[in-house]
Amino acid sequence: MKATNFPMEDDRGIVAVMIQLFQTALTPSAREAWDAPVARKPGWLERFDRWASQARQRDRERYLAQSQDVFELERRLKALERRPYF
| Residue 6 resides in a domain | no
Write down the pLDDT at residue 78: 92
Q: Would residue 71 count as lying in a domain? A: yes
Contact by Cβ (8 Å): 60, 84: no
Q: Would 20 be classed as within a structural domain?
A: no
Q: Which helix (H) or strand (E) holds 24?
A: helix 14-25
Stretch 18-28: mean pLDDT, rounded? 76
Residue 67 lies in a domain: yes
- Contacts of residue 64, defined as CB under 8 A and 6 or more positions apart, other chains included, come to 73, 76, 77, 80
Quote the DSSP letter at residue 66: T
- How many domains are contained in the chain? 1
Q: Tell me if 62 is assigned to some domain.
A: yes
Distance CA 60, CA 80 (A): 8
d(CA 86, CA 73): 20
pLDDT tens digits for range 34-85 = 666 778 888 999 999 999 999 999 999 999 999 999 999 999 999 988 886 5
Q: How confident is the model at residue 4 (pLDDT cuts 50, 70, 90)?
A: low
Q: What is the pTM of this model?
A: 0.49
Examine residue 37 and state whether it is found in any structural domain, yes or no: no
Q: Residue 33: inside a domain, yes or no?
A: no
